A and B are shown apart, each in its own frame.
Chain A
Amino acid sequence: MKRTSFILLFILALQALASAELRFVIHGEPRTFTPYLVGDENSETVRYLTGGVLIRMNRQTQQLEPGLATSWKVAKMGTAITFTLRSGLKFSDGTPFTADDVVYTFQQMMAPTVHSSIADAFRSGPGQVIAKAGSPTSVTITFPAPISGVERIFDQVAIMSAKSPLKEKAVLGPFVVAEYKPGDHITFNANPNYWKKDEKGNKLPYLQTVRLDIQSNRDIELLRFQKGEIQLINGLDTENFDRLQKIMPQAVKDVGPSLDAEEFWFNEVQRSPIPAYKITWFRSVNFRRAVAHGINRDDIARLVFGGHAQAAAGSVSPANKFWFNAKLKPYAYDLKTSMNFLKKDGFHRDGNSLKDKDGHAVEFSIIVPAGNKAREREAALIQQDLAQLGMKVNIVPLDFPSLIERITQSFNYEGCILGLQNFDPDPNDQMNVWLSSSENHQWDPSQKTPATFWEAEMDKLMRQQATTQDNNKRKVAYDRVQQIVWDQAPFIYLVNKDALVAIAPNVHDANPAVLRPQTYWNIDRMTMTGR
């Protein structure tokens, strides 16, 4: 009798675990359900829950792990990759998975009429990307030119079925879309044919349903979390994190520095419509270093981000385990050093004001996105910090389109504060920032030839690392790029914000990471008990 009761209880407990519905919020409508067209965060969430990929990056260890492929081999200096696929797998509708599906996915994704950002990552040069099945469990993909770290890109390539009548609705990921009510919610059921099993051989995912509520208001998201209506929040802001911590200390977690950095830069574009003497200041490394030393980053971390940020040394956050150049330290807040740098360029104090060698008072504006409280506060702190050096800083909040127009087209601005969002730890993700010819080389974009010796060196190093397969060699090159950025300070890095998340106490085995999706990257292993 006792034994039977125990078994019954065990079954009930298992059912409770299985039947619970995990809910969280996406902040807008997904723009597409077609995996290779994904370009926004909301669609990315849907793809992450439903898509089966050949290689998956473990968000915690930042290492690549086998997915639908059991192994892979990069060949011909990075111009080809061959996958050995798992056999006997099925899509959610029962259609068998073979190498033909990988070929079909690549054909769809690489079609010239389709604009896919993932496809662009594979287009390494003129020529075609060709996927060829060697056998039902082997497929080779060839690229027109070498791509370093090409394996990582496959984390975003959800394989579609070539034969299923359901097309992209047939999936290989842990969940399958069950219902979509535009503007309201998306419900997912566990994929009955999901290939993964736990260590004990139990089928994954443990959760039977997941519901994404479409809700743009983050305050309402927070209230719903407090009520127990949703169980996960990604990317909490500091204020809400601290508030939630007081009410539900067990639910919030500061995962540590994220990959994102807050940065400030001066306009160094020589053709920009600002006074020439100001461009001379901004193009001087001494002036930039003086400003870098004149900013109290610890105060920014403490006052703007409530201590949930760390002073930043450069573009790569310490959260980026492999690529971070650990030798670099954030610029120390030191007004004496600042003045010394300024004196080198002939700047001098005249009462409360700082003047350049020609007698111009040092005054410049910093544009910030209007409505972004954190950046406005950062600017207010910088304004007061630099006032101690005699610099007059005017803060100009601009609506976002106007700000973008100024920094990308008219170049009618002097300084700007924005954030660098890194989604991928690999240096190739920052190619568009560091190449002097790039439009996103913000301080002086779209250069025909590198304007300075150090930008020429950065171009060379970035290209070098992009065509090398040996990650250790790539790291040497990329470490040097980080060092140059630190030395020349074209971007003055402020802080790396921490990744702040909330996970309801009834959700088990969540293992939040700094990489997106922070809270549910291992959703197939997460479980949940009642509210």
Chain B
Amino acid sequence: MRYARAAALAVLLFICVSCLFAELFAPAGYATQYRDSPDLAPSHRFILGTDELGRDRFSRLLYGGRVSLILAPTASVISVLLAALIGGVSGYVGGWLEKSAMTLTDLFLSLPWLFLLIAVRAVMPLNTSAEVSMLITFSILGILGWAATARVLASAARDLRRSDFVLQAEAAGMRGWRLFVIQVLPNMKPILLAQFWVSIPIFIIAEANLGLLGLGVNEPMPSLGGLLRELENFSALSVEPWRFAPLILLVVVVSAFQIVLPEKENA
């Protein structure tokens, strides 16, 4: 398993470096349309061919990967912070605050998030550039994705509140926020980290879902979800298997995160 983790980490690093430095590796811009070369098969010039508008698929894959790989962790940070604030604090304080917070969490968990995302996207300002729309999409994912993590953190905070060392600290006169920040929060760090890592692939997949519905990142900016839409026409797939490239990248990235995760969880 150690070797598998190392291999997964290496793959993840390779993909991250390739995507984060897309400008260096991509032969063309993600929006450049070679209108005289639409729908081409892979060639020396276009490694993964071109899409219907003559855009280089390989370049779009790198840029799309970058969008997901930068913004999914960002969404994850947002959701974990919110979860820590809502779940962690309420679990630690307990009483009516915990009950209210858990009711809110249950409400959020029972919401059909996909429809909620669609509704939130529908009221977004219209004149947002592709870059801003990309930020908004992932921020929404982060803001809406805190509930499950909050439950885990509330439960952890509740256990910590009843733990011996917290009782000891209380007996020594430590109270309130000081007790939370010095005694409880450091002990929640492994759970926060694990939740952060667990959430990244979830947000990558969530964006892919939105992208498949055409509601992800706006054109011409690519994202893994947007690129997956080329798989919609499955009768084309047997003759153009290179269309699977974004799916393969998605599966590899998500799997790599899953394999890498236990090591972090144990940290």
Q: Which of B35, B118, B219 contacts A299 (CB 8 A)?
A: B35
Q: Which residues of B contact A402 (CB under 8 A)?
A: 118, 122
Cβ of B34 to closest chain A Cβ, rounded Å: 10
Q: Which residues of A contact B183 (CB under 8 A)?
A: none
Whether the Cβ atoms of B214 and A380 lie closer than 8 Å is no
Q: Which of B33, B121, B128, B229 contacts A394 (CB 8 A)?
A: B128
- Which of B38, B214, B215, B218 gathers the greatest number of chain A CB atoms within 10 Å? B214
Whether the Cβ atoms of B218 and A395 lie closer than 8 Å is yes
Query: Could you count the A-B residue pairs with CB atoms below 8 Å apart for me: how many are there?
Result: 87
Cβ of B54 to closest chain A Cβ, rounded Å: 7
Q: Would you list which residues of chain A between 253 and 301 have a CB under 8 Å from chain B?
A: 299
Cβ of A258 to closest chain B Cβ, rounded Å: 20
Whether the Cβ atoms of A394 and B127 lie closer than 8 Å is yes
Whether the Cβ atoms of A239 and B233 lie closer than 8 Å is yes
Answer yes or no: A396 CB below 8 A from chain B CBs: yes
Q: Can you name the residue of chain A whose Cβ is closest to the Cβ of B124?
A: A396
Q: Which residues of A contact B239 (CB under 8 A)?
A: 243, 246
Q: Which residues of A contact B6 (CB under 8 A)?
A: none
Q: Which of B127, B215, B236 contacts A363 (CB 8 A)?
A: B127
Answer yes or no: B220 CB below 8 A from chain A CBs: yes
Answer yes or no: B129 CB below 8 A from chain A CBs: yes
Total contacting residues, chain B, CB less than 8 A: 29
Q: Which residues of B contact A379 (CB under 8 A)?
A: 219
Cβ of A230 to closest chain B Cβ, rounded Å: 14
- Which of B35, B128, B232 gathers the greatest number of chain A CB atoms within 10 Å? B35
Q: Which residues of B contact A367 (CB under 8 A)?
A: 126
Q: Which of B33, B214, B220 contacts A370 (CB 8 A)?
A: B214
Whether the Cβ atoms of A304 and B214 lie closer than 8 Å is no
Whether the Cβ atoms of A384 and B31 lie closer than 8 Å is yes
Q: Would you list which residues of chain A between 295 and 338 have a CB under 8 Å from chain B?
A: 299, 302-304
Answer yes or no: A32 CB below 8 A from chain B CBs: no
- Which of B229, B235, B239 gathers the greatest number of chain A CB atoms within 10 Å? B235
Q: Which residues of B contact A243 (CB under 8 A)?
A: 233, 235-236, 239
Whether the Cβ atoms of B127 and A364 lie closer than 8 Å is yes
CA A376 to CA B213, docked complex, whole Å: 12
Whether the Cβ atoms of B33 and A373 lie closer than 8 Å is no
Answer yes or no: A71 CB below 8 A from chain B CBs: no
Answer yes or no: A484 CB below 8 A from chain B CBs: no
Cβ of B218 to closest chain A Cβ, rounded Å: 5
Q: Given A399-B122, A414-B126, is A381 in contact with B235 using a C-beta cutoff of 8 Å?
A: no
Q: Would you list which residues of chain A between 344 and 395 have a CB under 8 Å from chain B?
A: 363-365, 367, 370-373, 376-377, 379-381, 383-384, 392, 394-395
- Which of A302, A363, A372, A384 gathers the greatest number of chain B CB atoms within 10 Å? A384
Whether the Cβ atoms of A383 and B35 lie closer than 8 Å is no
CA A401 to CA B33, docked complex, whole Å: 31
Contact with A along B134-163 (1 / 0, CB 8 A): 000000000000000000000000000000
Q: Given A370-B213, A396-B218, is A365 in contact with B33 using a C-beta cutoff of 8 Å?
A: no
CA A383 to CA B32, docked complex, whole Å: 12
Contact with A along B113-135 (1 / 0, CB 8 A): 00000100110001111100100
Q: Can you name the residue of chain B whose Cβ is closest to the Cβ of A246?
A: B239
CA A360 to CA B33, docked complex, whole Å: 28
Cβ of A356 to closest chain B Cβ, rounded Å: 15
Whether the Cβ atoms of A397 and B122 lie closer than 8 Å is no
Q: Which residues of A contact B3 (CB under 8 A)?
A: none
Whether the Cβ atoms of B214 and A372 lie closer than 8 Å is yes
Q: Which residues of A contact B13 (CB under 8 A)?
A: none
Cβ of B15 to closest chain A Cβ, rounded Å: 26
Q: Which residues of B contact A364 (CB under 8 A)?
A: 127
Q: Which residues of B contact A240 (CB under 8 A)?
A: 233, 235
Q: Which of B33, B130, B219, B235 contacts A223 (CB 8 A)?
A: B235
Q: Which residues of A contact B122 (CB under 8 A)?
A: 398-399, 402
CA A395 to CA B232, docked complex, whole Å: 21
Q: Which residues of A contact B236 (CB under 8 A)?
A: 239, 243
Answer yes or no: B53 CB below 8 A from chain A CBs: yes
Cβ of B81 to closest chain A Cβ, rounded Å: 29
Q: Given A243-B236, A370-B213, is A384 in contact with B33 using a C-beta cutoff of 8 Å?
A: yes
Answer yes or no: A503 CB below 8 A from chain B CBs: no
CA A396 to CA B38, docked complex, whole Å: 23
Q: Given A370-B213, A376-B214, A397-B214, is A303 in contact with B233 using a C-beta cutoff of 8 Å?
A: no
Answer yes or no: B96 CB below 8 A from chain A CBs: no
Q: Can you name the residue of chain B whose Cβ is closest to the Cβ of A384?
A: B33
Q: Would you list which residues of chain B between 205 and 228 have a CB under 8 Å from chain A?
A: 213-215, 218-220
Q: Which residues of B contact A377 (CB under 8 A)?
A: 52-53
Q: Which residues of B contact A302 (CB under 8 A)?
A: 35, 38
- Which of B35, B52, B118, B133 gathers the greatest number of chain A CB atoms within 10 Å? B52
Q: Can you name the residue of chain A whose Cβ is closest to the Cβ of B118?
A: A399
Q: Given A219-B234, A223-B235, is A381 in contact with B53 using a C-beta cutoff of 8 Å?
A: yes
7 tightest A-B CB contacts, nearest first: A370-B214, A402-B122, A365-B126, A371-B214, A395-B219, A397-B214, A380-B219
Some 5 contacts from A to B, beta carbons below 8 A apart, are A219-B234, A222-B235, A243-B235, A367-B126, A396-B218
* Residues of chain A at the chain B interface (Cβ within 8 Å): 219, 222-223, 239-240, 243, 246, 299, 302-304, 363-365, 367, 370-373, 376-377, 379-381, 383-384, 392, 394-399, 402, 412-414
Task: Using A239-B233, A299-B35 as known contacts, list a sample of 19 further A-B pairs with CB atoms less than 8 Å apart, ordered by residue number in A.
Answer: A219-B234, A222-B235, A223-B235, A302-B35, A303-B53, A363-B127, A367-B126, A373-B214, A377-B53, A381-B53, A384-B220, A394-B127, A394-B130, A394-B218, A395-B130, A399-B118, A402-B118, A414-B126, A414-B127
